Amino acid sequence: MAYTLDHVMMRIEDEEESLDWYTEHLDYEIKGEMDGGDFTNYFLGPEDMHEDGAILELTYNHGDHEYEMGDAWGHIAVRVEDVEEAYYELMDEGVEDYRPPEENPGYAFVKDPDGHEIEIVERDHGARWSIDHTMIRVEDATEALGYWTRTFEYEHTGRWEADSFANYFMKPEGAADEEMAVELTYNYDGRTYDMGDAWGHLCVRVDDLDDAWDDMLTRESADYRDPESCDHHYAFTKDPDGHEIELIER
């Protein structure tokens, strides 16, 4: 099983405002919608995204809800041809100035209406604004790298080690450039993180849900929400830091 990253889920407080923001500023279109009774999931992405590209799932819980961002989740990153051009295009459209490219050579950051951070990175592949990676913070780099390698058969696609932190990028072996990667950020100072609830989960695709779940248990991943408890539509495990990972059959 390839365990291609299918989507990343984030929770939003105002569905109209968030949908308008992503469709107007990132040129996303709504790829699908699921009504869960007391919540609605919206699936978004660029019009011409790659067949193995990841989509963004925005979850709106009906009624008034406020979410805590936490710091265990970091950001999503989107691809553009020119970071500076793209950033100031967003500024002209009224997006708040957050971390301009002058402060971060080669990349920049904006925030969506709920405060989710979105990195803008320069790539020569993938549709404009398509999701390049999702960053999560880990408390033990060795354990986290071993987890993704053993559990999902991922391999390093890049790493950056600085004086105070390290970033490790992981993807399935043989993954297309256009697929989303997971970025593991490890800070050397021994800090701990708060998960919050504004971020939801990462999701990986599997060929057979029951077989994949058996592999999760064999590889000692957390038995969190098994297929039976989810009506055999999906299942959830957790990484060693508590980040939720959905398994879905495609």
C-alpha 91: how far from its chain's center?
24
In the chain, beta strands by DSSP E: 5-12, 28-35, 39-46, 55-61, 73-80, 107-111, 117-122, 131-138, 154-161, 165-172, 181-187, 199-206, 234-238, 244-249
Task: State percent of the chain over pLDDT 70.
Answer: 100
How far is residue 135's CA from residue 158's CA, in Å, rounded to a whole number? 13
Per-residue pLDDT of the chain (250 residues; tens, 9 = 90+): 689 999 999 999 999 999 999 999 999 999 999 999 999 999 999 999 999 999 999 999 999 999 999 999 999 999 999 999 999 999 999 999 999 999 988 999 999 999 999 999 999 999 999 999 999 999 999 999 999 999 999 999 999 999 999 999 999 999 999 999 999 999 999 999 999 999 999 999 999 999 999 999 999 999 999 999 999 999 999 999 999 999 999 9
Is residue 114 within 8 A of residue 21, CB to CB? The reply is: no
Cα gap 35→188, rounded to integer Å: 42
pLDDT tens track for 112-141? 999 999 999 999 999 999 999 999 999 999
Range 155-161 contact pairs with CB under 8 angstroms and sequence separation of 24 or more:
157/181
What's 23-77 look like in SS3?
HHHCCEEEEEEEECCCEEEEEEEECCCCCCCCEEEEEEECCCCCCCCCCCEEEEE
Catalytic position from the list 15, 57, 119, 178: 119
Active site residue 249: no
User: Cα(28)–Cα(154) distance, rounded to whole angstroms?
Assistant: 28
pTM higher than the cut 0.85: yes
